[in-house]
Amino acid sequence: MAFFVDIDYLKKNSLIHGNVNTDQLSVILRRTQKLRIEPILGTPLYKDLLDKIENGGLTAADVTLLNDYLIPCLLIYCEIMAAKYYNVEIRNKSTGRSNDEYQVANTDTQNAVFTDELYTNAKVFEQTLIGFLIDNSTDYPKYCEYQNSLKEDVPPKPESDSYDDTISFIFK
């Protein structure tokens, strides 16, 4: 699977420390792209951008989208996922917290405060990304197709908001 950024870029440009296990970080990056970025972009634009990254063909508009909007959003969502999962280890006999001799893991409360702040930042970046796509819709027709498909999935609103049936309440 192609990535929007490589692992070294992620480590150098986020709060994720350089000594973090690369294999685990690859899982976090893959999941974050799939679970957070694809729903924002829609599958057609998401796949189109990854294809252009792998095979060449990024336009100037694509580069702007990636560098100024998508990648900053992706980095923060990766930080959130890493903060939630890096001190948890799944082993053959149990799942538990890991610790190292030089650092004490955050408590659940400390981690919640930290990830809440990151999530607040991520939502700002996400809304800015969506706003950019809307404002520049002519450059991203696959995003428009995705948005239109969402509108088609919404059932029509009934003509009347009044109820024809009687509603009964039973009190004991």
The first and second tokens of residue 5, run together, are: 């950024």
Structure confidence at residue 145 (pLDDT): 84
In a domain, 153, yes or no: no
Q: Say which residue, 144 or 87, is predicted with more confidence.
A: 144
Q: Is residue 1 one of the residues assigned to a domain?
A: no
Listed range (27-36, 40-49, 80-89, 135-144) with the worst mean pLDDT: 80-89
Question: Does the residue 101 lie in any domain?
Answer: yes
Residue 165 maps to a domain: no
Domain assignment of residue 136, yes or no: yes
- Which residues have C-beta within 8 Å of that of residue 147, sequence separation ≥ 6? 42
How many distinct structural domains can be found in the chain? 1
| pLDDT higher at 121 or 17 | 121
Max mean pLDDT range (54-58, 111-115, 168-172): 54-58
Kindly report whether the global pTM for this prediction surpasses the value 0.75.
yes
Question: What average pLDDT is seen over the chain?
Answer: 84
Q: Is residue 162 part of a domain?
A: no
User: Considering the domain boundaries, does residue 74 fall inside one?
Assistant: yes
Domain limits for position 16: 7-142
List strand residue ranges (DSSP E) for 22-151, in order.
88-90, 95-97
In this prediction, residue 102 carries a pLDDT of: 62
User: Could you report the per-residue pLDDT of 127-166, keeping only the tens digit for each?
Assistant: 999 999 999 999 999 998 888 887 776 555 556 555 555 6
